[in-house]
Structure formats: structure tokens, C-alpha cells
Amino acid sequence: MNTLVVISFVLLVLYVFKILKYTLNWIYYPESKLTQQTFTTGISVIIAFRNEINNLPDLLNSLAAQAYPVNLYEVILVNDHSVDGSEFLVQSFCDEHPNFRLIQHEKNKTGKKSAVIHGIQSASFDLLVTTDADCIPKDGWLASIAREYQEKHPDMIVGLVDITSGDSFFGKFQEIEFLSLVAAGAGAAAGGKPMYCNGANLAYKKSLFHSYADPFKEHIASGDDTLFMHAVKKSRGKIILLLKSVPSVVITRAVATWNDFLQQRKRWVSKSLYYRDAATLSTTLLVFLISFFTLVSLSIFISGRYFWFFPIYYLVKTLTDIVFLKRFLTFYERKVSVIHFMIYELIYPFYTTFFAIAGITTGYSWKGRDRKI
């Protein structure tokens, strides 16, 4: 038992130092301010969609309202075999906006990865920017990306994502869990060692994309964003930058039901089977082990032994997490209830352990399609 306790606290110390490092990385990483300047960068925005008729109007209107020269950006929307009439809505919008184009995905291909690739093949500009059909970019989104690109000339730009979730317990849990992931990814990227990114807000050169034989790993159902980033990260001389800019934040929507949440998280975890980046794998393992040993400490506490073990373990981890998240959310002008966060932290070890197992052992269903591991 003493050995178990020692291992648990060694892992906790490693976790605390890692989160502290992310916190300092984030605090000292320079914020990019959007200023008036002359833009010369052409941008192709690529969006694959399937059955998004309820979300597309907000996305399309936000893209048309971008504070960026209309002659310098195009929006390519690839219909991945929708059956809800989404393509007709998009075509109507494209008819009124000359820089918007609808492309039908090839009949013999399905899935987001191949749809995005189809869009890239039709892109007119070298700087590609992706987002998802259920997202709403702010009006300074493209201008912020172009400014970063023109001034620093990176190969890839990792953007930030926010979430709208409602006031229910389910919604708030999604919000905290999602923003914690975003914060960790931002903290790692701010330190020059990005672990993952989100295709809802990602930019890269078309020439970079074409320099890899299979950048998206098409045989894998999910992970076009992070798997591509890992390939770029391994390439010598390539520059990946975090864009810490309020106008560049893209807002996504929380899922509506527990089943959608289950399927989405299983989809996210499933792609970790294909990660080969050492920093990402070691951090993922550390987070899992911390959750596992939190459950171990709780079971020991319930059994009537080592009464001090669980309270100390739980409080140290919770304090570490909330300090980091509160600093990150200050940038978003958001606050988190300490009481609610402490409740979520009690749930999180069960949640993490369950999805770590379910995500790598079972399939999932997404956008009306079943995927097997």
C-alpha cells in the first residue's frame, strides 16, 4: 500500500508541474492584437458539412460578415452527401455571394477528411483556413489569421475555440470539460510543443498540405487536424504558432443530448490510438493515471484506510486545475464557479476512465454513420 501511495504522489507532483508550466506558458505568451493594416494574403476557407441545415445559416452569415477584403477570401463548402436539404440552403446563399462556392463531394467517397481534401483541391489561394459547420467565427477571424501569417510567416496556425452550452448541468459540464482541453492545448502550444489542435480553427499553407503523401491519414476515420499537426511538428524547420487573439476565437455549439456527447467523446478518444507524438502520448497517459489513482484513493478512503489520501489528492489536483483554468478563462472574459468546478472534478475521474476504455474498445456513430475501431 505504501508503494501505491508513493507512486500516486509522484504522478501528482509531475501533473502539478506540467499544469504549472502550461499556466506560465499561457501567461507569458504574447497576445496578438488586431490593428488596421494592409492585407495582401488570399485565404481559402474550407468547410465540409453533412446534415447541418440548422447550423449553416449562422455560419454563412458570420463568414459573409468578415472584416476582410472580399476579393481576398473565398469560402468553399463541400457537401458530404447531406440528406436534409443543407446543400440547397448553401447554394441559395452562394448565388448571392460570389466568393462563396458549393462543391458536391464525390459519389464514391464519404467522410470529412476526403471532403476537406476535395475542397483543398479547388482552393484558389495558398493559405487554407478550416472551420466546422456548427461553428460561428467572429468577424475579425480571418483578419487576425492574415495578420499573424503576414508578420510571422508560420506554416501552421493553431486557433482557439470557445463553446456555447446553456445553463443546465449537462451544458456546464461540457463547457468546463471542453475549455479545459482547449486550455491544455493552448498551454502546450504556447510553450512551442503543441499536442493537439481543432479543425474548427486551423490554418495552414496549401503547399504544406501537398508536401505530405497522406497528411490527414485518410484510412483513419477521425483526427484530420491533430494527426496532420503531428506530422508537421516532426518535420524539421516547420513553424506551428498559437494564435492568442480574441477576434480570432471561433465559437462552437455543445451537443444536445447525452448520446451525442457519448458518441462525440468516443470519436475524439478513438483517434488517440494513432498518435505517435511522444509529448501527446505521455501527457495523455499522465492524465489517465491521475484519474485512475484518484479513483483508487477514493476507494481506499471508502474502505476506511488512509483517510488523508483522497482529500489531499483531490484538493491538490483541483486547486492546480482551477488556477490554470481561471487564468485561461480571463482571456475569454468568462468565469467558473469554484463550487461547480469542485463537483465536476469529482465526476471527471469516472468520466476519463470510462471514455479512455470505451473510446479505444468500441465504435461510435456520427452524422448518421457507424464507425468501428
- Residue 240, amino acid: I
CA angle 17, 20, 26 (to 5 degrees): 145
Higher pLDDT, 360 or 135: 135
Q: How confident is the model at residue 153 (pLDDT cuts 50, 70, 90)?
A: very high
Alpha carbons 131 and 157: distance in angstroms, whole number: 13
Find, among 347, 317, 295, 10, the residue nearest to 176 by Cα.
347
Rg (C-alpha) for the chain, rounded Å, is 21
- Residue 238, amino acid: K
Alpha carbons 129 and 46: distance in angstroms, whole number: 6
What kind and span of H or E run contains 250?
strand 250-253
Grid coordinates in use for 350? Answer: 469516472
Q: How confident is the model at residue 276 (pLDDT cuts 50, 70, 90)?
A: confident
Strand partners, 100: 75
Instruction: Determine the average pLDDT of the residues in 16-26.
Output: 97
- Residue 307, amino acid: F
Whole-angstrom CA distances from 99 to 41, 53, 76, 259, 282 are 15, 20, 8, 37, 44
* CATH code given to domain 32-159+197-254: 3.90.550.10
- Per the CB < 8 A criterion, the answer to whether 129 and 53 are in contact is no
Write the DSSP assignment of 164-224 as a string of letters: E--SSHHHHHHHHHHHHHHHHHHHHHHTT------TTSEEEEHHHHHTSSSTT-TTSSS-H
Grid coordinates in use for 225? Answer: 487536424
For the chain, what's the residue count?
373
Q: Where are the domains of the chain?
A: 2-26+277-371, 32-159+197-254
> What backbone phi and psi angles, to 5 degrees, belong to 136?
-135, 105
Question: How much is the mean pLDDT over the chain?
Answer: 90
Residue found under cell 456527447: 261
Per residue in 99-117, pLDDT (tens digit) is 999 999 888 787 888 899 9
Alpha carbons 25 and 40: distance in angstroms, whole number: 31
- Per the CB < 8 A criterion, the answer to whether 171 and 165 are in contact is yes
CA angle 266, 267, 271 (to 5 degrees): 110
Q: What 3-state class would DSSP assign to 272? A: helix
Instruction: Determine the average pLDDT of the residues in 319-336.
Output: 92
302 exposure class (CB count in 10 Å sphere: 0-12, 13-18, 19+): exposed
Per residue in 195-232, pLDDT (tens digit) is 999 999 999 999 999 999 888 887 776 777 899 999 99
* Residue 340 pLDDT exceeds 90: no
Find, among 299, 338, 336, the residue nearest to 315 by Cα.
338
- Per the CB < 8 A criterion, the answer to whether 81 and 50 are in contact is yes
* Residue 369 pLDDT exceeds 70: no
Burial 330-352 (b: 16+ CB within 10 A, else e): ebeeeebeeeebeebbeebbeeb
Instruction: Determine the average pLDDT of the residues in 26-32.
Output: 95
Instruction: Determine the average pLDDT of the residues in 61-83.
Output: 95
